[in-house]
Structure formats: C-alpha cells, structure tokens
Amino acid sequence: MNERAELVTHVGRLKAGHGIAVYEPARERRIVDGLRDDNPGPFPSDAIGPVFREIISGTRSLEQPVRVAYLGPEGTFSHHAARAQFGAMSRLDAVASIPEVFSAVETGRADLGIVPVENTTEGVVTQTLDALAEHDVPVCAERVLRVSLALFSRSGEVDAVRRVVSHPQPLAQCRRWLDQHFPGAERVEAASTAAAAQLAAESPDVAAIGSELAAEVYGLPVLATGIEDRGDNSTRFLVIGGEPPPPSGRDLTSVVFTIRRDEAGGLFRLIEPFAQEGVNLTSIQLRPIKGKPWEYFFFIDCEGHRSESSVHRALEAAGGVAHSTRILGSFPRAEQDRKRAGIDRAGGGC
C-alpha cells in the first residue's frame, strides 16, 4: 500500500499539471471489477469492492481530499451512500436539503455531491429531479444501496412508543409493517432519517425509522430491524459534479427534454429515434415546469455512452424533435451494486 501511495503521489502531481480530475469513477470501477474477475478465492469477491474502495479513498486523499456534499445530518442513508462510494478518507459535508447539495457543487463549496433519485418501493425522489432541471450540474456516477430499515427509540421499550418519526420515504416503505405492529402510533414526517433520530433522542415516547448506523450515531437502542415491506428495497443515488467520465463499456446516459404541449405525437416522436437506433430506454420520468402550467420536463435514461454512435444519433434525432435538450451526463452503471440489491434497474430513499 505504501508503494501504491508513492505512485499515487507522483500521479497526483501529473494530474495537477495537466488539469486531470482526481475522482474518476469509471477507472475506479474497472480496477475493482478486474480484481473481482481475477480473484481465485477463497477471499470472497463481494468483499473486494468495500476493501479496495478504502484503499482507493486513502491514496486518493494524497492527491487531493475530495469534498462531497450529502443530505444530512450524519446517519442518513445519503451519508451511508457517500461513505460507501467515496470511502472514509473523503471529506463528507452534511447539508440541510437536496437543493443545497446541488448549490454546494454549483458554487464550488463541494467538489461532488450525492443525492437520492429513485427507490424500488416508492419511486422517484421529486426534489432531485426538480434540482437536476434547475441546476447546471452534471451527473458523473451512480450508486445503488440496499436499504434495510430499523426502528429505534431512547427508551428501548416497544410499549412506550406513541409516535413514529422518519423521512416520508422510509415511512412509506414500512407502511404495512407499521399498520401491523404500531396501528395506533402517530406517524410524523421529518426532513431526514437522521433528523428523526435526533427527535427520538429527545423524547422517550418517540421511535425513529432509519439505518442502524443512525441508531449507533445517536446512541439509541434498536427495537426492530428489517422492517421494510419489500425485501428488494433499494435506493439509487446519483453522484453530481466532476468531469465527464470516459466510456466504461457499461454506461447510462441521462438527458432532460422539453416538448411543445400543442404538438400531437410529440412524446412518441421524441423517443422513436432510440428504438430506431436500438438504444434501450431504462427510465422515463416527467416533472412539471415551474411557472408553465401543464408543461413538463421529460427525464430519460438510456443504455450506452453519449460518445457511442448509436446513442449519439438517437440523441441528435430526439434533440431535433424536442423544444429543448440538456444531457445530464454519461456515467458507469453501478452493476455490482444492482446485482447485490437484487434488481436490474434502479431503485432513492433518503
């Protein structure tokens, strides 16, 4: 590891001299995937990623500490995702809201940000889509995190619980479990799971839903674990900011379009070029445009990198149909994380 650190220090000077980005998600994933593929055992292949991610984090910090903004406070699933994506040696800065993550990156207070975008149980995180449309910040990577929820309280007594507090997404992800086990408890929304843990720490009749990490951070006894209604409950996060990553061979491209509402067949004509070029669409979402009633942003994810000829032609043709087009980014897919989460397309809780 010290030999690696010496090499990284030298590489860091070269990168600084040529203006090359310190954080390269496609390169880091290729390293980890190659180690998994070459692993003869008996060390488990699934453990290689977390172990080597910390090695990468430590050596990356010798080049330049990476500042990462996430939805805080400490103990949220966004915090968990940031630690998993960037390692312990990165500088993780908690902010109060998803729009503030974008603002921190846009103004240079953070090099990168990580935000939840979709959940397998509750669907898209609308705040993130709205911020993607509003802020000129690129997407450079994704992370899929298996979300296992726990219930914890200051008293540690089930009978003492009168209110259950959490972010709206985890509350929804545990709806059936709460109906069965705490039918009479009031359900209260909080800004984040960590904020819910803080409330639980202040009152003995409040229980919070969040990660076991949050319970540990705030010193709260755990009443129950694995309380999510679905076993495949997973969250997809986007890493925003940074330099555009080169093709990795397994990429997604995200783009946001607008179309004229008075044009018949506009959506069909917008997505038709992708079918003609054989480019698979993995997601289509829409959000209203502020100040323009009944007009929408269309967020489309497609397989492939924007530099690939078929993807490039599809984007060009769709752009000719659209009223406006903005490519949010082409980035490596979180394939291994998706497999471990038991899903083959994305899932954002907070």
Give the structural domain span for 188.
Answer: 150-225
CATH of the domain at 276: 3.30.70.260
> Do residues 73 and 24 share a domain?
yes
Q: Are residues 239 and 121 in the same domain?
A: yes
143 and 255 both lie in a single domain: no
- Are both 319 and 207 inside the same structural domain? no
Say which CATH number the domain at 173 has.
3.40.190.10
Q: Does some domain include residue 274? A: yes
Per residue in 133-171, pLDDT tens? 999 999 999 999 988 999 999 999 999 999 999 989 899
2 torsion bin: left (phi>0), alpha (psi -120 to 50), beta (else): alpha
Q: What are 171-205's pLDDT values in tens digits?
A: 999 999 999 999 999 999 998 888 899 999 999 99
Question: Are 241 and 255 in the same domain?
Answer: no
Residue 350 lies in a domain: no
Same domain, 166 and 279: no
How many structural domains comprise the chain? 3
- pLDDT for 60 equals 66
What value, to the nearest 5°, has the Cα angle with vertex 152 and ends 146 and 154?
Answer: 150
Q: Which residues are catalytic?
A: 235, 237
What are the per-10-residue average pLDDT scores of the chain (350 residues)? 78 66 71 85 83 74 80 86 85 93 95 93 90 95 92 94 93 94 95 89 94 89 94 92 89 94 82 96 93 90 97 96 95 67 43
Clarify whether residues 108 and 239 are in a common domain: yes
Q: What is the pLDDT of residue 343?
A: 47
Q: Give the Å distances, CA to CA, from 44 to 29, 49, 51, 86, 342.
A: 17, 10, 11, 21, 18
Residue 346 placed within a domain: no
